[in-house]
Amino acid sequence: MFTEVEGTWDEVFGVVKRATEAVEPFGSRVSLVIKADIRPGYEGELDAKVERLEQAISESDE
């Protein structure tokens, strides 16, 4: 039930806005729960986490 989005403030909230607008025609209300993890100096952490997990799995298979 959760979707993670990574990017700049404007990019992320642009996605949130478009996603909200996309579902508006299908109901009488839209409910959002937003959690932000703001880490200055870090970018690409979603991809990096996948890479770290794949590396750990690869190492455990050896």
Query: Is the whole-model pTM more than 0.95?
Result: no
| CA distances, 51 to each of 3, 4, 44, 56, 58 (Å) | 19, 16, 11, 9, 10
pLDDT computed for residue 46 by the predictor: 86
Whether pLDDT at 38 is above 80: yes
Count of residues for the chain? 62
What residues contact residue 39 under an 8 Å CB cut-off, 6+ apart? 45
